[in-house]
Amino acid sequence: MPHPDEPNPRVELPAEGPERNPEAAPARSVRRATARRASNRRATARHRQTDTNASIIEFLAQHPGSTTGDLAKALNLDPGNVATRLTQLTKAGEIRRATHGYRTK
C-alpha cells in the first residue's frame, strides 16, 4: 500500500462513450431516435393541419361571413395561423372571400 504522501501510481484512462468529449456527435442510435421523434412530430402536425382546415371550413359553413378573428376565437387558434390557413384555402378554391369575412363555396 502506498504511503499517503506519495502520488497515486494509477494511470487514469480516458472515459469511453459520449462522456469522453462533450463536443463529439452523439451515437448513431441517439441521432436516429431523435430523427424518428422529429418525423413523428411533423406527421402529427400535418395531421392536425388537415383537422384545422376541416374545422375552419365547417365553421364557415355554419357561420358565413366570419372574419379571421371570429374563427380564431371560436376554434381557439392563433389568429396568424388562421390567416395563413384562410389564404391557403382561398387559393385552393375551398372557400372564398366575402364582402365581410369568408364563406364556403
Q: Is-contact 61 97, C-beta < 8 A? A: no
pLDDT tens-digit profile of 45-60?
888 777 899 999 999 9
| 6: DSSP letter | S
| pLDDT score for 10 | 64
pLDDT tens, position by position, 53-89: 999 999 999 999 999 999 999 999 999 999 999 999 9
Res 3 pLDDT > 70:
no
**pLDDT more than 90, % of the chain:** 51
What is the C-alpha separation between 34 and 97, in angstroms, rounded? 42
Has residue 94 got a pLDDT over 90? yes
In single-letter form, the type of residue at position 91 comes to: K
Domain 25-104 has CATH 3.40.190.10: no
